[in-house]
Amino acid sequence: MDTIEQEAPRKPLTLTEVREAFEPLSAQYPPILLLKHASDISGFTPGTLRKKVSQGCFRNSVARGKPLRFWRERFVLELMNRPASSKPYPASSKPCAETRKADDREAA
């Protein structure tokens, strides 16, 4: 039987590494981020980021309410140190709202 090689676990990002990375960008990304800044850093759209927060993601770095505020260092740590998924979901198993809306338009 063939042996399956497993990937080595990722080394978690440290707080020192995050602070060093953002030191030259402190004027652009303050220690407490608004939704726009957090979405710029993460690459998620603001709507996706709001949805992830409502699903319980980033609970150690977000202050819920209006407006959403994120602790910069904690947010980056949670974003980068989340566990790697073993298998991605197939595109058809979890349709997003945009896909459903497009399907509804085509059916009409």
95 inside domain? no
Does 19 map to a domain?
Answer: yes
Enclosing H/E stretch for 41? helix 35-42
Domain count, the chain: 1
Residue 105 located in a structural domain: no
Phi, psi of 107, rounded to the nearest 5 degrees:
-70, -25
pLDDT tens for residues 96-105? 344 344 444 4
42 is in which domain, residue-wise? 15-83
Strands 62-63 and 32-34: unpaired
Q: Is 54 a domain residue?
A: yes
In a domain, 96, yes or no: no
In a domain, residue 51? The reply is yes
pLDDT digits (tens, 9 = 90+) for 8-60: 666 777 888 888 888 888 788 888 889 999 999 889 999 999 999 888 888 88
In angstroms, what is the C-alpha Rg of the chain? 18
